[in-house]
Chains A and B, each alone.
Chain A
Amino acid sequence: MSERITVAHAVQVLGLGVAAGEDVLETEVTGAQVSDLLSHVMAQGKAGQLWITIQTHPNIVAVAALHGLSAVLIAGGFAPEEETIARAEEEGIALLTSSEGAYALAGQLYELGVR
């Protein structure tokens, strides 16, 4: 069995930016998914998952909060909107950023042991 992987661990190894949720980075990452369709995440999401997307609007926080996702990682160098950051802080959702694409990030998370 692999060791427990936290959001903080992923942030450190993948060199991610933290746009919101500094105080919830100890949450465990129990899986991951890549999708830009919110309904798809609503249908397939599971608590603890880290969600990689290029969507930046505040609704990504609502989806993450309703599912209890561990973090939302905005890929491809896109920046979250200000309202998205404010809502993530309000809901206690970790909002991460990276200049790398979703494919590369997913590969790195897999290598890290997130399955």
Chain B
Amino acid sequence: MVHYEFPILGRAYFLGGRASTSVKRVLTQAGVDRETVQRVSVACYEAEMNVVLHARAGHVALDIYTDRVMLHVYDRGPGIADVKLAMTCGWSAASEEARALGFGAGMGLPNIQNQADDMQLTSTVGEGVRLELTFYRRGAGDE
């Protein structure tokens, strides 16, 4: 198993995507198949932007195993009061400023769920959000 961590700064719109780009790079360097790299990267970007748009700070923890990739995204921020509602496609708590930049379409969490094989989202209001994702590597048995 190989472990990496990348920080995410809240409100830093223009740095958004840095952690995801790093995740994509290390996965590619580790020899993970393209499809899995793509799924993890897309999910990571959405999760990273959620931290940027809503939280004060957070980080990405990436664990690469021979058969799977675990991506955990934790943040310190307002949290999510109603997780089920947040998972609804089209629902968003994003600011007008964020929406003007093309974020806040309410597609982030549904996108993440579509990419991951398993998704665990837990939150404590006033503390933050814990998002734990599992991606099984394609063709892992052949490597």
Contact across chains for B101 and A42 when beta carbons are under 8 A apart: no
Contact across chains for B111 and A42 when beta carbons are under 8 A apart: yes
Contact across chains for B21 and A62 when beta carbons are under 8 A apart: yes
Q: Pick from B13, B18, B101 the residue with the most CB of A within 10 Å.
A: B101
A contacts with B, residue count (CB < 8 A)? 21
Q: Which residues of A contact B75 (CB under 8 A)?
A: none
Q: Which residues of B contact A62 (CB under 8 A)?
A: 16-18, 20-21, 45
Among A6-14, A17-25, A52-60, the stretch in contact with B? A52-60
Asked whether any CB of chain A lies closer than 8 Å to the CB of B108, the reply is: yes
Q: Which bucket holds chain B's interface residue count?
A: 20 to 34
Beyond A57-B14, A59-B17, A66-B24, is A39–B101 a contact (Cβ under 8 Å)? Answer: no
CA distance A57 to B20 in the complex (A): 17
CA distance A91 to B21 in the complex (A): 9
Closest to B114 in A: A43
Prevailing SS type, chain B contact patch: helix
Asked whether any CB of chain A lies closer than 8 Å to the CB of B41, the reply is: yes
Which chain A residues numbered 25 to 65 have a C-beta less than 8 Å away from chain B? Answer: 36-40, 42-43, 47, 53, 55, 57-59, 61-63, 65
CA distance A91 to B41 in the complex (A): 15
26 contacts between A and B (CB under 8 A): A38-B49, A38-B101, A39-B107, A39-B111, A40-B107, A42-B107, A43-B114, A47-B38, A55-B101, A57-B101, A58-B14, A58-B16, A59-B16, A59-B103, A62-B16, A62-B18, A62-B45, A65-B17, A65-B21, A66-B17, A66-B21, A66-B41, A66-B45, A67-B38, A83-B14, A91-B21
